[in-house]
Every structure is written in structure tokens, then in C-alpha cells.
Chains A and B, each alone.
Chain A
Amino acid sequence: MLATQKAGKILILATESCAYPGANAVGQAHSSYPENVFILRTRAPVLFPERFYIECFEKGISGIIIMSCGVECPYHGAYEVLARRIDRVFEMMRKRGLDPTRLRLTAICTVCTRAFLKEVQQMNEIVTKLGPPAAERTDTPPAEAS
């Protein structure tokens, strides 16, 4: 138990329409998952600028899963904008020496309990293998693309 608690923290940005109720459905089913997972409710993750993700890693978050509504996002067009933004974040992560697998964009519905557990398990394996993000960051990150 304590070993997993010491594993790097995983942040989930979960949409209030789909993924957040999906995470609650996992709870209603009493299905356990690693306790290093912290879920923040969002209206739509398209809100977050690129720098937000980088700063999360700088603060010590080891992995981030964006659990969106996918193409069924209630905000028409938001998912596509988000997907393009995350591509840019991947690029920024690479330039800074951060393994891009620490960040994942996925779609989770209100009853996608198995998919939720699978995503969490996979990210947990990644952050356990990679260790804390500070360990792999280069000291002098190259200037990032805006």
C-alpha cells in the first residue's frame, strides 16, 4: 500500500459530463485502483493552456490523463482543438526531456468503468517505470515554441 502511495502522483482532468461521472461509477462498483490517482473535475479540458501541463510536471505530478468526452464533447469542436493543443504539449515535453507518455488524452464515458481502470493502470505502470519527472528533465530546456 505504502509502496504505491510513494509512486508518482497521477493527475486526471476529468470532464464533468462524461469522465468524472465515469470515475464515480467506478467508485459505485467499488472497483479499486491505485491511490496515487487524483481526479480534478473540469467543464472541458480545452480550458488549459500548454504551459499548465508543463507546470504540473514541474510541480511534481508524474503523469496526467486527460479524460475527455471525446468527439461527444458537449462543446462542439472543443475536442478537436484540445487534441491539437495536446500535440503541441507533447512537442514541448520532448524538448524539455520529459517522456511524452506521461501525458495521455483519452475519452471516458459515464459508464466506461473498465476503460477508466485500464487507463489508470497503464499510466501507473508508466510513472512507476519512469520515476519522478524531475529526474528526466534537462537542466536548460530549449526555448519552446509558442
Chain B
Amino acid sequence: MKRVTKVVSSDSRVGVYICHCGGNISDHVDVNAVCEKISNLDGVRTAKTNSFMCSDPGQEMIIEDLRSGEIDRVVVASCAPSLHEATFRNALSRAGVNPYLYEHANIREQVSWVHHGEAATLKAERLIAAAVAKARLLKPLDPIRIEAKRHATIIGGGIAGLKAAKDLSSRGIEVVLIEKSPFLGGWTAMLDTLAPTGEKAADLVSSLAREVLEHPLVTIHSCSQVTGFEGSVGSFRLEVQKGPSDSGVPPVKDRGIFIPFRGYLPEEDEQPCKAFVVETGVIVIATGFKPYHPKNGEYGFAEFEEVVTLPRFIRMLAERDAGEGPLSIGGKEIKNIAMIHCVGSRHIPGIHEEDESGKLNEHCSRNCCSATLHAARLVRDRFPGTHVFEFYRDIRTYGRFQEDLYSKASESNVIFLRFEPESPPVVSRNPRADGSSLKVAVNDTLTFGERVEVPADLVVLSVGMQPSDVSDLIEMMKLPVGADGFLQEIHPKLRPVELSVAGIVLAGTCQAPMDTGEASAAGSAAAVKASAILAKGYVELDPFIAEVDLEKCRGNGECVKACLRQGALYLKDFDLHGEKVRKAQVDPVLCTGCGACVAVCPENAVDIRGWTISQYEAMVEAIARES
């Protein structure tokens, strides 16, 4: 760890802390050289480096320097501010220093991960110099405190949404659950038994749905969709449109009923179609996923009626008449089943075909291996005369007790064949008169690439999980989306259910592929985070709003005309030394801090707290300066 400390005569005493990020930064940026240079800047009292500034020792280093009075403001140069700006502001608070006397320099995502060698070092130095220039002009700020409505709205009534509703209501928080379909239970309700425990999905969904429906603090609106959104954490306003039920079953009363492979149908609202408003403090997004729909011709899908997806096969298996005899579907005996893994998952650019929007599903869907093995074992247990062949790239039974599924499938004489992504199995008509209508050919890497042909009466495609289409919510609420198309949390480990939009949290498979247990856990995690936000009865927002310098303001009203939020800026009469003067005033609750007013003031009397024009000017000067 390098430390450079010097005595300066500046009013502001900046401490600069440069992170190695375990080599992520220091492999490309000479952090010691940067530290040396930065320590010579005006206003910098100390410059230090650490392997991980976000670690406890890293934060303690800052706290110690602040408490000793050596420094009075901080710059940390590390990863993107979305990851650790809040971490370091909290460190300042713990040291008893105003958390807004902090500036962040992003030298990982915007330097070491995109530049290399001397150029990376020079750029890191410039960015940190710019951060120091801003830090010297920072002023202490107080967060804006607003009342938080003790109310949560959950969008999506699948397993994660139901679990979040149960947990939030059990903490005494009023909950509204908005589900677009007539049913509760989501895709869990489309399953029969759950891997690896064998628990009935119907029992799980029914039990959870009843608990939620019977709770006096929960209101469920099925067949409903959010059509309007405004407000901020603690005080959101949602416009909701309820449509007619298209469940296809007669209305139910009392506690509702579970309909296999549809979901739990709650009692219907007496007013079937209506528009209404929900005022709420937090929003839980639990909009789930959609299974991959194979392209026409992909492994014979839509070309041969004997090719089905795994969800379809699970339902076919469950709906087959109970009783003795071989497995038959549609009157035809199934002697051989070929199950193909990784359909619609783990796409590789250049090998797999992009969809119509140019996207590939490069992620692993994580559940399909276990679900496929579970289905294979069910077939072998119930119908020993049916052979099962699994065509896989890798077996990823990652969860607790899930490796047993693979062992037991092997013990049940399920036959495994392994393929490389560039040489996938080929499904075609079987010309032989051996009774199976299809054949699946593959270069089996388990037998060193031997070409193997397997007769198949049924081909099951183990389809992956894709993000469901929530583009309307994404647009309305400005939700961040990851490169994989799923909604993106702030940080996968440190802030795993929070979004960058304060007061909106994630639950379940809208975030990433998860199994039922994980989605349920995610629902609970979202409930904990949502209730923590509401616990104090108020929330504190960043104080980055407009501020009027009354000395400079001449009351010309240009800022009021330019304001994009009606009422956020207004003119007020003051009595100054016996003279009546008119000055601009800011309503801190209404002001969003966009800055439209700043640019138009001829007196430069308006600024955004924490993001002032003079701070930007200082940063530009630091960047423009030659190293």
C-alpha cells in the first residue's frame, strides 16, 4: 500500500484513495505512479492506495484520516460509482463527516477495462485530477426527507410475487398485488412435481396463494396491468387498468381454486373492468420469465409433431391417464425419448442464429438440466419399457441435492450422449422400419466423436428461460436492463434486489433464471428490502435539487419559465431593508434536479446542489490540462 502525505495550505483538505481492485485496475494502471502525481495537486492532503478500497480495511483507512482531521473531503478512484459511491458516502457518515463531501473517479470500467499501458495510467490520473477539482468545491448537503407511505405494490403474481406479498403483509405492511393474467402462481403452476424434492407444484402454489388471499392486508387485482407511473420512493402513484377475465372457467367464490397447468384462480372482482390508482411507497417487480420458443425447424420443432418442449412434455406426462401399461401419448406407444439440452440457452455468437431482434441467449438458464433429469427419471420409474436418451453439452445440476438427479438418472439407465455446440444433434425422419418415426444423430464426444443415431418416438427440447416482455414497465419506470435482457440489480452481491430507481426492488426470474426455491427466496429478499425502506416512515433522498443564490437573483423569472416541473420553482416577494424585492424560490419536494433552470439564468444565480456549473468547469479544466 502506497501513502503520500504532505502539508498544504488550501482551505479544503482532500484525501485521495486509489483502488487496485485486486489487479482489475492495477494490472493496467500504474496506481503507485498515479498516487505520487495526484499527491502533488493543489488541495490534496494525502493520497493512498489499497488492494480493495471497498473492503473494511480500505474504508477504515478513510475513516481514520477523516477522524484525525487530516482531511475533510474524499475522492475514491475505483470501480463504477453505481457500485460503491454509496459505500464510501456511508464511510464518511460513520466518520462523522457530511457524506456529500465525496467524489468518485471511475478508473475501472472507464479506464483499466478499456485502455492499457501508459495511456491508461495517464487517463486515470486526469480523471482523478478532475474528481479532486470537483471535490475542492463540494459543500456539505443534507438529504431531503419525505414521508413514506407504508404500502407496497407487487407487480406479478408468480411464486416470487406471492412470497413477497406474504412476507410483506406478515410485517404489517399493506400490499396490493397486480397480476396481468386471471391466475396466480406463474410458471410454477405449469409444472407437475418440482425437482429435486418431488413436491407437487399445485400444493405449493395453492398453499401460498390461499395464505396471501386470506391476509386482510393484501388486495389482489388479477387481469390488471400498470398503465401509468409517477412519483418517487415513498410516494409512487400507479395507474392500473383491470380488464375482463379470460380464464375460460366459471367465476369462483370464497377462497378460489387451483386449476392444473393454469394456476390459482382467485375470487373474481365484482367490477370486472375498471381503471384505478394505487398510491404506494415501494414497488416490487416480480414479472417473471417466458420459456424459450424454438424456431421453426430448430431440432425439428414445428416440422415434426413428435418434437415438443419440456414444459409441454411435463404436462403430457402429468395428464396421461394413470394406470398400468406402457407410456403412450395420443394412442401411440413411446418406446424411445430423446431429450435435447440447452435449447435456447448458452448461445454462442457465430454458431447460433440470432433472433429477429438480433439477440442471442448467451446465458445458462440453470434449471433445465435438473428439470430434464427429473423428467427422465420419472419416465424411467413409471415406464421402465421406455428408453430415455439425453443429448447434452454440459450437465449443470448446481443446486442442493440436484446432483443426485444425475446420479439417479444414470442408475435408472438413462443414456447420455454429449455434443459440442458447433455440432448439435440432428433430428430427422427415421427411414428404418424399427417403429420409431424419428431419429436423432449426433457426434458423441463421450465415445470420441463417434456418429451415433438414436431412434426416437418423441423428442423433448429442454428450453431455457428468457426475459419476459416488460418493455412498457421499463419505459415507464426507467428500469435498467442487463445485456442479457433481464432486469439488472445495482450490484449482484452487495445490492442484489435493488434497482438504480430508488424504491423499486426485484423479485424472482425477471432478474435472472432461477428455480422455484430461488425465486421464492428472492421474493423474501425483496420483501425484506422493501420493508426496510418503509420501516422509518420516511425516506431520505439525495439533496441534488436546484438552489437559488438570493444575492445574485434579480427575480426576472426566466428559471420559473424554464422549469419542467410545474410549481418546483416560483417567485416570492421579500422585504429587504424596507424594499420589496422578488426572488426565485425552490420547492424541494417538487424539484427533480434536472437543471433546466440553471442554463437560462442570466445572473448565474441558480445551480444544482452537488452538480454545480463551477464544479463542471473545474473538472473540464483538469481534463484539458496537459499531464
Interface set of A (CB-CB < 8 Å, partner B): 1-2, 4-5, 9, 11, 17, 21, 23-33, 35, 38-44, 46-50, 52, 55-56, 59-61, 72, 74-78, 81, 85, 110-111, 113
Given contacts A49-B600, A60-B624, contact A24 B109 (CB under 8 A): yes
Q: What are 13 A-B pairs with beta-carbon distances under 8 A?
A: A2-B118, A11-B620, A24-B80, A25-B483, A32-B116, A35-B122, A35-B123, A38-B127, A47-B594, A50-B599, A61-B624, A72-B475, A76-B564
- The reply to whether A23 and B117 form a contact with Cβ atoms under 8 Å apart is no
Of the candidates B475, B594, B596, B608, the one having the most CB atoms from chain A within 10 angstroms of its own CB is B594
Is A43's CB under 8 angstroms from B483's CB?
no
Contact across chains for A5 and B122 when beta carbons are under 8 A apart: yes
**A8 and chain B: residue at smallest CB distance:** B624
Asked if B115 is at the interface (CB within 8 A of a chain A CB), the reply is: yes
* Residues of chain A within 8 A of B475, CB atoms compared: 72
Cβ–Cβ < 8 Å partners of B488 in chain A: 110
A113: chain B residues at CB < 8 Å are: 483
Given contacts A39-B106, A77-B596, 5 further A-B contacts (CB under 8 A): A1-B119, A24-B110, A44-B596, A46-B595, A56-B624
Interface flag for B593 (CB, 8 Å): yes
Q: Which residues from B are CB-within-8-Å of A61?
A: 620, 623-624
| CB atoms of A32 and B611 under 8 A apart | no
If the complex has contacts A11-B620, A76-B564, are A35 and B596 also in contact, measured as CB distance less than 8 A?
no
* CB nearest neighbor in A for B592: A75
Nearest B residue to A76 via CB reads: B564
Partner of A28, one of B109, B117, B619: B109
What 0/1 pattern do residues 599 to 615 of B give for CB contact below 8 A with A? 11000000010010100
Q: Which chain B residue lies CB-closest to A29?
A: B483
Query: Which of chain A's residues has its CB closest to B122's CB?
Result: A5
B226-263 CB mask vs A (1 if < 8 Å, else 0) is 00000000000000000000000000000000000000
CB contacts (< 8 Å) of B127 on chain A: these are: 38
A-B pairs with the 8 shortest C-beta distances? A47-B595, A27-B109, A75-B594, A27-B113, A49-B599, A24-B109, A35-B119, A60-B624
Is the beta-carbon distance between B120 and A75 smaller than 8 angstroms?
A: no
CB pair A110 B114 closer than 8 Å? no
Shortest beta-carbon distance, A54 to chain B, in Å?
Answer: 12
Q: Does B108 lie at the interface of the complex (its beta carbon under 8 Å from any beta carbon of A)?
A: yes
Taking a contact as CB atoms closer than 8 A, the residue among B119, B598, B623 that contacts A4 in the complex is: B119
Contact partner of A38 among B120, B126, B478, B482, CB < 8 A?
B126
Alpha-carbon distance A39/B120, docked complex (angstroms): 14
For B119, give the chain A residue with the smallest CB separation: A35
Does A38 lie within 8 Å of B623, measured CB to CB? yes
CB neighbours of A30 from chain B (8 A): 113-114
The complex places the Cα of A70 from the Cα of B248 at a distance, in Å, of 43
Contact partner of A33 among B106, B109, B114, CB < 8 A?
Answer: B114
- Does B93 count as interface, using CB distance less than 8 angstroms? no
Q: Does B81 contact A (CB under 8 A)?
A: yes
Interface pair A78/B110, CB less than 8 Å apart? no
Chain B 118-150 interface residues, beta-carbon cutoff 8 Å to A: 118-120, 122-123, 126-127, 130
CB–CB A9/B624 < 8 A:
yes
Query: In the complex, what's the smallest C-beta–C-beta distance from B53 to chain A, in angstroms?
Result: 18
Q: Is B4 an interface residue (CB 8 A)?
A: no
Is B562 positioned at the interface, with any CB of A under 8 Å from its CB?
yes
Question: Is A24 in contact with B624, judged by CB distance below 8 angstroms?
Answer: no
Give bound CA distance, A85 to B137, whole Å. 27
Residue B82 is within 8 A (CB to CB) of chain A in the complex: yes
Contact in complex: B599, A47 (CB < 8 Å): yes
Interchain nearest-CB distance for A58 vs B (Å): 9
Cβ distance A69 to chain B, nearest Cβ, rounded Å: 8
Chain B residues with Cβ under 8 A from A26's Cβ? 109, 114
Q: Are B620 and A81 in contact (CB under 8 A)?
A: no
CB distance A43 to B620 under 8 Å?
A: no
Contact of A47 among B118, B120, B613 (CB under 8 A): B613
B480 touching A24, Cβ below 8 Å: no
Task: Tell me the bound Cα distance from A42 to B596 in angstroms.
Answer: 12
Distance A47 CA – B116 CA, assembled complex (angstroms) = 33
Contact status B624-A59, CB under 8 Å: yes
Q: Does B617 contact A (CB under 8 A)?
A: yes
B88 within 8 A of A: no
Question: Hey, which chain A residues are within 8 Å of B480, CB to CB?
Answer: 21, 110
Q: Kindly report which residue of chain A lies nearest to residue B594, judged by CB atoms.
A: A75
Assuming the A-B contacts A4-B119, A47-B595, are A23 and B624 also in contact, with contact meaning beta carbons closer than 8 angstroms in the complex?
Answer: no
Q: Provide the residues of chain B in CB contact with A39, threshold 8 Å.
A: 106, 110
Question: Closest approach, in angstroms, between the C-beta of B128 and any C-beta of chain A?
Answer: 12
Please report the C-alpha to C-alpha distance between residue A78 and residue B568 in the assembled complex, in whole angstroms: 15
Measured between beta carbons, the chain B residues less than 8 angstroms from A2 are 118-119
Q: Is the CB of A77 within 8 A of B564?
A: yes
**Is the pair B478, A17 in contact by a Cβ cutoff of 8 Å?**
yes
For the complex, give the distance between the alpha carbons of A35 and B119 in Å: 7
Question: In the complex, A42 Cα to B130 Cα: how many Å?
Answer: 14
Contacts of B130 in A (CB 8 A): 38, 40
Say yes or no: A43 contacts B544, CB within 8 Å.
yes
Give the residue of A32, A43, A59 whose beta carbon is less than 8 angstroms from that of B621: A59
A74 near B110 with CB under 8 A, answer no
Q: Which A residues touch B117, using CB under 8 A? A: 1
Shortest Cβ distance from residue B232 to the other chain A in the assembled complex, whole angstroms: 11
